[in-house]
Amino acid sequence: MPLIVTGSVGIDTIHAPTGSAEGVLGGSTTYFAAAASFHAPVRVVAAAGGDWPDEHRKVLEGFEGVCLEGLQVRSESRTFAWGGRYHDNMNSRETLFTELGVLDEPGPPVPDAYRDSEFVFLANTHPAEQARLLDHFPERKLAVADTMDLWINIAHPELMTLLSKVDGVVMNDQEAEQLTEITNPISAARKILEMGPTFAVIKKGEHGCIFVHGDDVATLPAYPAEAHQVVDPTGAGDSFAGGMMGHIASVGMTDFFSIQTALAWGTVTASFAIESFSLDRLARLTRAEIDQRMSEFQAAARVG
């Protein structure tokens, strides 16, 4: 069932204890679409500038199942650019710079061929732009949004309006705390549900995630990655969401247990994204590798 995403296409500069990467392909939509494409076809609505390198487009085109008809390149504008530095333990990072470029301009048109999209993911971008995409799909089956510190800081009213319209949110524990001023992730999730969504997924990095859906709560561990497997955590959250929404779109079900299963697919898909800088590992990933790791993860996470 058709899945659509909007968010950023980015040019990233990353500094990590494992090395640095300058001017590489990044962006919330980019990671999401690449990860989702292993599970279901995905349609992209996003914009890049005239400085967007051709090699970046070729990488995205290499993912079978990613439709780029809704990717607009504006020759007079600049691509969103972001720099981040990871601290020694790779669990925390600081933003070095954010240049909004096209994200500060009106959003791109939504192609007519995308009108029957049923599953909508609003990856990180301005909440007003997320809401604009959402309004194109009044008949959707499921709409889920992500957000982050910048938007909580500079677009709080627009974010609150967006939250009142979506079915679910995916965010990390720091963002949930920033939004609710509650440290405990389950209590923070409950507060977020009061803002509108039916469910919230709170990611806790290497400690997995929790899922609060109405009165029900589920918890899931992270994939047990060893130190040498963690090269660059950038895009882990977007890849997690891509694997999760890709699975939901592939089964077409939105009940508690289907979403809980989707979280495991998201976890496993994201565990590959962090094995390299940019999308390098995702670009040579196969569905068979994901299936194999899913079996290992199920065995490792088994309880009772």
Closer to ligand AMP by Cβ: residue 197 or 242: 242
SS3 label, residue 36: helix
Q: How far is the CB of 80 from ligand AMP (least distance, A)?
A: 6
For residue 35, give the nearest of 66, 81, 1, 68 by alpha carbon: 66
Closer to ligand AMP by Cβ: residue 2 or 271: 271
Binding site residues, ligand AMP, CB under 6 A: 8, 10, 12, 26-28, 82, 98, 124-125, 148, 150, 234-238
Phi–psi pair at 250, nearest 5 degrees = -70, -35
- Distance between CA 99 and CA 108 in Å, rounded? 18
- Distance between CA 249 and CA 23 in Å, rounded? 32
Q: How far is the CB of 40 from ligand AMP (least distance, A)?
A: 19
- Four-CA torsion 4, 128, 70, 115, nearest 10 degrees: 50
The sign of the torsion formed by the CA atoms of 185, 279, 110, 37 equals: negative
Closer to ligand AMP by Cβ: residue 84 or 197: 84
Closer to ligand AMP by Cβ: residue 185 or 237: 237
Closer to ligand AMP by Cβ: residue 77 or 124: 124
Residue 245 DSSP one-character state: H
Alpha helices in 107-172 (DSSP H): 127-135, 149-154, 156-163
Q: How far is the CB of 300 from ligand AMP (least distance, A)?
A: 23
Q: How far is the CB of 148 from ligand AMP (least distance, A)?
A: 5
Q: How far is the CB of 153 from ligand AMP (least distance, A)?
A: 10
Closer to ligand AMP by Cβ: residue 2 or 47: 47
Q: How far is the CB of 77 from ligand AMP (least distance, A)?
A: 15
Q: Which residues 6+ apart lie within 8 Å of 136 measured at CB?
A: 110, 114, 115
